Amino acid sequence: DQMAVHVPLSQEAIAECKVLMLSSMNILLPASGKAVAIPSQDMVLGLYYLSLEKSGVKGEHKLFSSVNEIITAIDTKELDIHAKIRVLDQGNIIATSAGRMIIKSILPDFIPTDLWNRPMKKKDIGVLVDYVHKVGGIGITATFLDHLKTLGFRYATKAGISISMEDIITPKDKQKMVEKAKVEVKKIQQQYDQGLLTDQERYNKIIDTWTEVNDRMSKEMMSAIAKDKEGFNSIYMMADSGARGSAAQIRQLSAMRGLMTKPDGSIIETPIISNFKEGLNVLEYFNSTHGARKGLADTALKTANAGYLTRKLIDVSQNVKVVSDDCGTHEGIEITDIAVGSELIEPLEERIFGRVLLEDVIDPITNEILLYADTLIDEEGAKKVVEAGIKSITIRTPVTCK
């Protein structure tokens, strides 16, 4: 590939770069107003490890007056980093852990206790960065992100988290579940042989049976791994913190690989019952190579299509210019939660944040006007709407301009 190098030469160009391109000016996502610059992977793992609590370790229930005292106690091996302790904080004694106090030491003073005194998963760190940016501004956020990075990497290194075969826990009832599913599949096959089911119904029922078994096994496996070593199982920590991996990947390691797809996209009705810890037999291995190869081939082929589509979209929208704050339209669009089945993808609260109302929002119970038309919805406004139990709202948008 070729890349161009741009060198800003004139004073104007240099000033423009400083204002527009400096990393500290690009902390928020233009799409949602949330922080885009949040720690990931190792940094998340380090901060998560630091914020965990453990029972029955050295220094438990001791009372400390400051972070320096805690760090000294840890250095002299008098206090475990995960110990539940009590600390004097702004005149109050709070229950927390040694690690969480180390995280607090890099936080600005205005952060409320409930934002840091909990296990720090990726989402929680995101909320923290958002709050620091909202209250403290760009300069403080940039410094804070730097400190987060350093602390995350330091404790990820000290934790020395790695995966062993012992961390992969297979559910106790795996064999029973599989046998039960096989009996169920046999019944479905017999019903088909007797002419009670069509071929499509038989196929769908078999797929549903195996999917249900797979889901049940995943749940059992996750609860077993979560309880292992008091929540200090390496694989669980990686997935739970949001650093890397997911329940679906852990399932393939320790429960069963599950259903595979054929090259044409349809699902093979015999699942892979083994997991990677037990190892696959020849047929299972052959079936899984199918899916793996298709994945790689698709990735290579889809890239070109995605690029071409992006280009077409840009060409189409090139001439749509937003030239005034308000085009005076009286139309709008209705927005609700985005959900697929029972899974919530994007809640209404997030979707209406930063949008402008077309009409007054009225509380369905008290008939009181919560927000007036033409109001820009801030976080408080979005909360009001959700707390009132309102499910949809009409907002103004450039899309309806004439």
What's the rounded mean pLDDT across residues 360-376?
86
Chain segment 21-46, per-residue pLDDT in tens: 888 888 888 877 778 888 989 999 99
Taking only the tens place, the pLDDT of each residue in 278-337 is 899 998 898 888 788 888 888 888 888 888 999 999 998 888 888 888 888 888 898 888
The rounded Cα 18 to chain-centroid distance in angstroms is 32
CB 257 within 8 A of CB 276: yes
Q: Are 60 and 257 in contact (CB under 8 A)?
A: no
**Distance in angstroms (rounded) separating the CA atoms of residues 168 and 137:** 44
Determine contact, residues 385/349, Cβ cutoff 8 Å. Answer: yes
Distance of CA 293 to the CA centre of its chain: 28
Q: Which two tokens stand for residue 99?
A: 């690690």
pTM, entire model: 0.81
The CATH class that applies to domain 21-159 reads: mainly alpha
For the chain, give every residue range classified as CATH 1.10.274.100.
21-159
- Tell me the three state secondary structure of residue 345: strand
Residues with Cβ within 8 Å of residue 100, at least 6 apart in sequence: 50, 51, 116, 117, 118
5 — pLDDT class (breaks 50, 70, 90): very high
**pLDDT of 169-206, one tens digit each?**
888 889 999 999 999 999 999 999 998 989 999 999 99
- CATH 1.10.132.30 applies to domain 165-292: yes
What is the number of other CB atoms lying within 10 angstroms of the CB of residue 170? 18
Task: Please give the pLDDT value at position 50.
Answer: 93
- The CATH 3.90.105.10 domain(s) of the chain lie at 333-400
CATH 2.60.15.10 is held by the domain 333-400: no
